[in-house]
Structure 1
């Protein structure tokens, strides 16, 4: 069984007895979300504030083809680490990174570990070549050795992970390869997608149906109120219309409309505000859009069900929301 280093984590210092001194390239920046495997050096890096990026989430399905992709865009940080030595191999480094991301609550969308790099699964040579062809390096450097190897090279592994944060979704792709007997290379690509600005995105009927099917609830993006009030703003009409469209298409479904707030202020105030806001949504759907009142029940839960920490403004903004919850 491969060894896991104690203490390996994404946002905490890594511990390892007598780590090799790091000899990073000039101007290299350690991404604050991921700290390196002990003894590794940054040998190549690019940071682009905005670029499209394709995340491969499935195996190779044909000639130079991967069937499953997630197309995204945002700030892209690509960092290549070199571990020089024979104390650890590619699989141990791969498993430590994988466990660290799992422990931090990332959803692992796909993973694979191969001792000979053959086949079509995630982590094989074929998969890496197609993945890099879709996301080519924008400058030359040591990262270009990822798909090469030497006569003493060994296996490789890769995994794809994602997590929804208050500041926006983040995607991570980690590739680890035994480049030579005493050289393990690790390429970590991080794509940070900024959260949408309030008021620019509203839910549509298709999204409502998809989230209700998968989760039994949907956040009604685009529902907006006046500051510290339950007065619906005109910008909420598109989201309200999407609810009506879905309800007309599914006359057998009934719903709770649930208001949520952040944790600023007293509990009693937030509980009352969330109840009033949920009631305002129901009233608008009934009186302005013709939805039967018996199909909707409003409730407020104040700050009791946060989706992110209330410490940051980004987290508080995501916690202030109205949800549609399917009612049996």
Structure 2
């Protein structure tokens, strides 16, 4: 197994001994399925399951394997980010040991930091993961084709289970990435078929929840300001550590300007909020500069500057915990307050 590391991803190229399973390879992959650029399949394998979700919450083992009531288990961690799930069947005649060792060796050589490893009889651990994750059979686009009597491709928790879990640290523009690989002996129709190895791969690329996808219109702004005297806006967006409004902020900015033009006697305070990342002084300066950027944009949109005050309060007024990325995303906001 050769490994090629680039600045943006780790590429694993299988160079194991070729096999004489031409008819198996001819069947082809599940429609629209594609290998993840991080890790290529064991040579000659066929993709039978594929799912990619741009942003979701996913469970992954994070601690040393232990036994509970005679069954293997591990601690679990919920991660947020882009998730890819892949399922392969190896060529006939390969063993779980050979396939698992090839994946394991390639991942280790590429620098993966291992958090969980299980080399024998890992079916209990895999089932525990499956119970923690979203309903497994609902996640894949399964191939309903047949090969050599094998048609039930989601029965991948059978005998000779082998598992490895780990992560690659963030590198430049590449986020921290978690990988789970589970190999087992494939069965079909309730009986053993010619030996094929089932490989399930889960890849989670950590990233923040996408925000700014919902704008508050002028009428809703007016109602909130009339009824409770303030409103939080997430459609006014900035790059990390920056004070210039992003172009995607224009729709929300226009709605805010329209609401102020309709209510010509309404004076507001534009309050900038941050999460708790960084020091207080830096966050105070950042939140103040961002609030001032919004005030300046409203002035350019035709709002009288005498009606506007900019105020930055850093992370002094959180509305959610700063211990999670979801909470920090909620705290990074702009609040409009009636003077």
**Paired position in structure 1 for 2:118:** 112
Q: Does structure 1 conserve the Cα–Cα contact (< 8 Å) formed by 2:80 and 2:207?
A: no
Number of residues of Structure 1 aligned to a counterpart in Structure 2: 195
Report the Cα distance in structure 2 between the residues aligned to 1:97 and 1:67, rounded to whole angstroms. 21
Partner residue, 2:127: 129
Unaligned ranges ≥5, structure 1: 1-5, 118-123, 204-220, 226-231, 238-328
Selected match of 2:68 from 62, 66, 70: 62
CA RMSD of aligned residues (A): 3.0
Question: Highest CA radius of gyration, 1 or 2?
Answer: 2
* 1:67 positional shift: 4.8
> Structure 1 pair 170/224, CA: closer, same or farther in 2 (3 Å)?
farther
The aligned counterpart of 1:161 is 166
* Equivalent-residue separation in structure 1 for 2:281 and 2:184 (angstroms): 49
CA distance in 1, matches of 2:101, 2:281: 44
* Residue of 198, 211, 221 corresponding to 2:240: 198
The answer on 1:144 being equivalent to 2:141 is no
Map of 2:13 onto structure 1: 13
| TM-score after normalising by structure 1 | 0.52
Distance 1:129 1:93 in 2: 20
Aligned to 1:184: 197
Task: Report whether the alignment pairs 1:49 with 2:65.
Answer: no
Deviations 1:265-286 (A, max 9, x none): xxxxxxxxxxxxxxxxxxxxxx
Q: What is the rounded CA distance, in whole Å, between the counterparts of 1:188 and 1:162 in structure 2?
A: 13
Unmatched runs of 5 consecutive residues or more in structure 2: 5-9, 143-151, 187-191, 210-238, 242-273, 289-339
TM-score after normalising by structure 2? 0.51
1:223–1:236 Cα contact (<8 Å) kept: no
**Aligned ranges for residues 1-328 of structure 1 at < 5 Å?**
6-7=1-2, 10-19=10-19, 20=21, 21=25, 23-58=28-63, 59-62=65-68, 66-86=73-93, 88-114=94-120, 117=121, 124-135=122-133, 136-137=135-136, 138-139=138-139, 141=142, 143-147=153-157, 149=158, 154-165=159-170, 166=172, 167-179=174-186, 180=192, 182-194=195-207, 198-199=240-241, 201-203=275-277, 221=278, 234-235=285-286
SS of the residue corresponding to residue 145 of structure 1 reads: coil
Q: CA deviation at 1:66?
A: 4.0
Question: Would the alpha carbon gap of residues 222 and 236 (structure 1) be closer, same or farther in structure 2, given more than 3 Å must change?
Answer: farther
Describe the shift of the 1:81–1:223 C-alpha distance in structure 2 as closer, same or farther (beyond 3 A): farther
The match for 1:248 is none
CA contact (8 A) 1:172 1:189 kept: yes
**Separation in structure 2 between the aligned mates of residue 54 and residue 145 of structure 1, nearest angstrom:** 20
